[in-house]
Structure 1
Amino acid sequence: MAFAAACAAVLAAGTAPASAQAEPALTYIWPVHGTIVDHFRPPAHEYGPGNRGLEFATQPGSSFWAAARGVVSFAGPVGGRLHVTVSHPDGLRVSYSGVAGIGVKRGERVHQGQLLGTTADRLHVGVRRGEVYLDPVLIFDGDASTGVRPPLSRPRLVPASTSVYRLQLRWLHSGAGIAVL
């Protein structure tokens, strides 16, 4: 009996609780389909001019999604514009500005690729660690600490709804590769 108890104690000590186990590395995906029209330009001083993120030209009403898993820390208006901010487990916060519609609420857990809302004609994406702004290009499938920039032409797979898959299948089976709606 003592032997069984000792074995159980050793096994229990060697098994870490689920919360203590290492989480998979966090990766970031591009949060919108659009063309970058204004790149990151850090200001010379705290209140100086510049661009503290990336500005994307988008079709009004386009979807934008969470770049990585996290928790919505803000979703609402500031200065007459709508914004969404997601806080991530690695300490980064990604903010989306120039939003036309918000599909999430504060405190909601989101997964990578989850729809956050819709865009106006431009979407601004900013990334901060604490109060320091980072170049967002560095985190999208890259490493912000090393400055490695990902190739911009590399495709990124994003989960889609069933209706998107049905549309793709209809297009593939349309005979001439013409979308059948």
Structure 2
Amino acid sequence: MAVGTGAVLAAAVPAAAQSAPGVRPVNYVWPVAGTVIDPFRPPSHPYGPGNRGLEIATQPGSFYRAAAEGVVSFAGPVGGRLHLTVTHPDGLRVSYSGVASIRIRRGARVRQGEVLGTTGDRLHVGVRRGEVYVDPAAVFGDDGSATVGHRRPAARLVATGVSVYRLQLRWLHSGAGIAAL
């Protein structure tokens, strides 16, 4: 974990664990097997750079599954990419972005572990409480206890060249990059 994100991560864990009075706590599981290639990096301000979720490398065609029971609140394209969001009983919203396919419609009730669709070579997973992004790793847990056969993705650093950095900057400043935020 980077030094600058420690305070935000510490603040995110209690926020993810809280639930409204009368609402039972929700146990979240990892939605896909894979390796985290870009960890949560909260921005310093609402429109600042960062990663508002986890970028997970996956095998193309892998199933991504509902992290917990909930209702599909969005399913469709945004900025030329497919996105799906599930709203959970505790108020958290989990978004699955850049997916290859969506097998479920808006308004559908889903069970934990239910197949939502397939991935490409990566899956971006974001978690929000209201409009505040929280670290998905803090929500899904660090103990690797995910059900439905999924393991906790291991974080690893991936070296990139200057050309990849320039491509990321170009994408971030394009309409597609802003739409994915």
* Paired AA for residue 85 in structure 2: T
Q: Say if 1:113 and 1:159, in contact at 8 Å, map to a contact too.
A: no
Q: What are the within-5 Å matches in structure 2 for residues 25-174 of structure 1?
A: 25-141=25-141, 150-151=142-143, 154-158=144-148
Q: What is the TM-score when the length of structure 2 is the normalising length?
A: 0.68
* Paired AA for residue 43 in structure 1: P
Cα distance in 2, alignment partners of residues 42 and 70 from structure 1: 25
- Cα distance, 1:62 vs structure 2: 0.5
Cα distance in 2, alignment partners of residues 61 and 122 from structure 1: 10
Gaps of 5+ in 2: 1-21, 151-181
Cα distance in 2, alignment partners of residues 115 and 66 from structure 1: 7
Q: Say if 1:36 and 1:57, in contact at 8 Å, map to a contact too.
A: yes
Cα distance in 2, alignment partners of residues 114 and 106 from structure 1: 15
The two structures, once aligned, show a CA RMSD in angstroms of 1.6
- Cα distance, 1:42 vs structure 2: 0.4
Q: What is the TM-score when the length of structure 1 is the normalising length?
A: 0.68
Gaps of 5+ in 1: 1-21, 142-149, 161-181
Cα distance in 1, alignment partners of residues 128 and 86 from structure 2: 11
> Where do 4+ consecutive residues of structure 1 move more than 3 Å?
none
Q: CA deviation digits over 1:130-150, x for unaligned, max 9?
A: 100000001114xxxxxxxx2
Q: Which has the larger radius of gyration?
A: 1
Cα distance in 1, alignment partners of residues 90 and 149 from structure 2: 22
- Cα distance, 1:157 vs structure 2: 2.3
- Cα distance, 1:158 vs structure 2: 1.1
1:117 is paired with a residue whose SS is: strand
Q: CA deviation digits over 1:1-20, x for unaligned, max 9?
A: xxxxxxxxxxxxxxxxxxxx
Cα distance in 2, alignment partners of residues 25 and 55 from structure 1: 26
Cα distance in 2, alignment partners of residues 115 and 24 from structure 1: 23
The alignment covers a number of residue pairs equal to 129
- Cα distance, 1:24 vs structure 2: 4.4
Cα distance in 1, alignment partners of residues 146 and 28 from structure 2: 10
Cα distance in 2, alignment partners of residues 75 and 118 from structure 1: 13
